Amino acid sequence: METIRVSRHLAHSRFRPAQTLILSYLAIILIGTFLLYSPRATVTRSISITNAFFTATSAMCVTGLIVVPTGTYFSTFGQGVILVLLHLGGLGLMTFVAFFSLIMGRGLALRDRVVMQDVLSYDLLGKIGRIIIYILCITFFFEAVGVVLLFNVWEGDLSFARRLYYSVFHAASAFNNAGLCLFNTSFQKYVSSFGLNLVVPGLIIIGGLGFAVHENLIECARRALKRKSPYRGPGLRSGSPQPRLSLQAKIVLITTAILIITGTGIFLSLEMKRTLSPLPLQGKIFAAFFQSVTARTAGFNTVDTSRLSNPAYFLLIFLMFIGASPGSTGGGIKTSTFVIVAAAVWATLRGGRQVEICKRTIPSFMVNRAVAVFAISLTVLAISTMLLTISEDVSFISALFEAQSALGTVGLSTGITFGLSTFGKWVIMATMLTGRIGPLTVVLAIAQQTVTIRYEYPEERVIIG
């Protein structure tokens, strides 16, 4: 409850929404660091303050990069702290703050709703309260389904309590796209497991679609069922309009499907005779599919990532850069941003003045925002990679991969994170926080408040290219 009070105080302060969001994340990371630094949190009853801060940041930013093994280094208490942090980070801290405000009968002030609109990527201020409750219900429903389906997946002679614990932790980690795992080699021993390769990627995909898409799909399904029912409601007569997928849902679903299918095929072709060679055909397909899905922001792995070829690294970096979808538990620049930038480039090549997708025109301010996110993300990636190559004795591809894994809040690693210097760890932590909150949000928080002007300067053309 102290966390709730701190966050509500920040929300009602003079800070702008972007600044409130960053300060809220930092406040919870500091609390998480304090809890993980306590002797109760580790098996050895000792951890450096830097490693505790790194773990808290990784969990809160749902990244999954680790400097100490989660399953063997931390006690049950420490793992519980990590589980809470990844929920707060995955769904958004302010989501829980707003939820507790609602159930305590306090409601949401307009300033709270503006902050939540930024967190959830929703444009409708009036629906924020209902959306928050809906998000929490959807989250815990899918996590509960994941727990049930994962219960019998685990190998070995495990007790009921241990199976349940593994299922709860990994279902939450998968849905929140965190990638934190209780096994030292992630899911490598389950590379050919049908159950794990069905459930974990399924949770990752669902969590990465975005809650706006969930709501749209459920509403379309509900209206379609009512239209077929003989007991139609008054608003669903035979002549009423067909349920329609929003442009957001179309972009997200089509792009997600294309990235998963093409990513699986390319990864399979690149690693068929290399990392995947010891596996049977089913294992090869499962491994390629799993890596294609998890690279989008989850961070689990069923193959040894440190043994991949450079072309495979570049493929995963590309997938990590795009990431999940807006309003989801994942990171990256987001699928819609990638599609809008690609559509803007295509429109420019065709000599068009407007960006059009699925027979809809994208407003110019949204195109500008997408380009800004794309450019700022590339800039942050370049700076992080450069700093890692300066401070660490690693190859360029390893530094680039690690930096993008942090920026995309993924958690995949070439194996260099464990050996990072203190400076390198702080670089990764700053990159993880930037990636989770959003590069554009960070810039808006730092930038001065803009003033609306009522005049325009005359145009003048410059030579480009």
At 136-156, the pLDDT tens digits run 888 889 999 999 999 999 988
- 132 pLDDT band (50/70/90 cuts)? confident
Which amino acid is it at 219? E
| pLDDT of amino acid 163 | 95
* pLDDT tens-digit map of 425-442: 999 999 999 998 888 777
Residue 65 has pLDDT above 50, yes or no: yes
pLDDT at site 164: 96
Task: Give me the pLDDT at residue 215, please.
Answer: 84
The predicted pLDDT at position 417 comes to 93
Q: Model pTM greater than 0.85?
A: yes
Listed by start position, the domains of the chain span 2-181
**Residue 396 CB: number of other CB atoms within 10 A?**
11
Least confident window among 239-243, 272-276, 373-377: 239-243
Number of other residues whose CB lies within 10 A of the CB of residue 38: 16
Does residue 4 register a pLDDT over 50? no
Mean pLDDT over the full length of the chain: 86
Residue 443 pLDDT > 70, yes or no?
no
Identify the band that residue 444 occupies on the pLDDT scale cut at 50, 70 and 90.
low
Residue 371 pLDDT > 90: yes
Alpha-carbon distance of 354 to 346, in angstroms, equals 10
CB 122 within 8 A of CB 131: yes
The yes-or-no verdict on residue 112 having pLDDT over 60 is no
Pull the structure tokens for residue 396: 């360029």
Query: What pLDDT, in 10s, does the model give residues 155-198?
Result: 888 999 999 999 999 999 999 999 999 999 999 999 999 999 99
> Over the stretch 219-228, which tens digit does the pLDDT of each residue have?
888 888 877 7
* Helix axis angle, 439-446 to 422-437, nearest 10°: 90
pLDDT confidence of residue 343: 96
Q: What is the pLDDT of residue 180?
A: 93
Each residue's pLDDT tens digit, 203-217: 999 999 988 888 889
User: Sign of the C-alpha dihedral, residues 11, 13, 15, 19?
Assistant: negative
Sole residue written with tokens 């294609």: 292
Whether the per-residue pLDDT at 325 is higher than 60: the answer is: yes
Task: Return the residue matching tokens 């294992």.
Answer: 283
Helices marked H in 122-159: 128-150
